[in-house]
């Protein structure tokens, strides 16, 4: 039962904006719809380049600002796949998952593991921290890359 429908995502976004006294401007619409349709993982510069390619004119500053709002609103999640760039993923229409990253080819495998999630909850509870988000990254070499090295 996952919300994939664009219209209902837009409604959720508009509600969020309204609650904050913000308006649903054309720029915010462009960015939001683009992300809903096209993207799962991305970093901001990639996104800016893609928008530019499609002649969707939104300034760099507005993109950064809008991503901040989308993160606050819970549509985006920062994932720590790489250390010198903010990397996001759109989460409103996918189920929660973590990442395995191949350090050789950069490919990303998504996984979800309920037992792992349980442990994370347990750890947070044990330290009396009310959890807002979490991240798990596993880095390694994927099978394909291991096989290529052998050759």
Partner DNA sequence: CAATATTTGAGATCTAATCTCAAATATATA
Partner DNA sequence: TATATATTTGAGATTAGATCTCAAATATTG
Contact residues for a copy of itself, defined by CB under 8 A: 78, 80, 83-87, 98, 100, 102-103, 109, 111, 113, 115-116, 119-120, 122-124, 126-143, 146
From residue 57, give the alpha-carbon distance in Å to each of 20, 27, 40, 138.
25, 8, 21, 36
- Minimum distance from residue 19 beta carbon to a copy of itself (Å): 20
Task: Specify the residue, 62 or 93, whose C-beta has the smaller distance to DNA.
Answer: 62
Q: What gap in Å lies between CA 51 and CA 58, rounded to an integer?
A: 8
**Residue whose structure tokens are 């995502």:** 9
> Which of DNA, a copy of itself, none is residue 99 near (CB under 5 to 8 Å by kind)?
none
Q: What gap in Å lies between CA 40 and CA 93, rounded to an integer?
A: 9
Using a CB cutoff of 8 Å and minimum separation of 24, what contacts does 56-63 make? 56/30, 58/27, 58/30, 58/31, 59/27, 62/27, 62/31, 63/31
> Which of DNA, a copy of itself, none is residue 124 near (CB under 5 to 8 Å by kind)?
a copy of itself
- Minimum distance from residue 82 beta carbon to DNA (Å): 9
Stretch that binds DNA, among 15-23, 32-40, 107-115, 138-146 (CB under 7 A): 15-23
Kindly state the tokens that stand for 92. 């409103």
Stretch that binds DNA, among 5-13, 84-92, 108-116, 141-149 (CB under 7 A): 84-92
> Which of a copy of itself, DNA, none is residue 23 near (CB under 5 to 8 Å by kind)?
DNA
Site string (30-59) toward DNA, x via CB under 7 A: -------------xxx-----------xxx
Helix axes 26-38, 44-53, angle to 10 degrees: 100
């Amino acid at each position: 039962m996952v919300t994939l429908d664009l219209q209902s995502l837009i409604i959720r976004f508009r509600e969020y904006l309204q609650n904050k006294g913000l308006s649903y401007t054309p720029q915010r619409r462009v960015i939001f719809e683009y992300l809903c349709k096209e993207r799962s993982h991305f970093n901001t510069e990639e996104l800016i380049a893609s928008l530019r390619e499609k002649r969707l004119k939104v300034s760099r500053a507005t993109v950064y600002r809008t991503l901040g709002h989308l993160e606050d609103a819970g549509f985006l999640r920062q994932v720590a796949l790489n250390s010198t760039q903010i990397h996001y993923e759109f989460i409103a229409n996918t189920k929660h998952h973590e990442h395995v990253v191949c350090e050789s080819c950069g490919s990303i495998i998504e996984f979800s593991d309920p037992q792992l999630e349980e442990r994370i909850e347990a750890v947070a509870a044990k330290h009396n921290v009310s959890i807002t988000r979490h991240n798990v990254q596993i880095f390694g070499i994927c099978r394909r890359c291991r096989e290529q090295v052998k050759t």
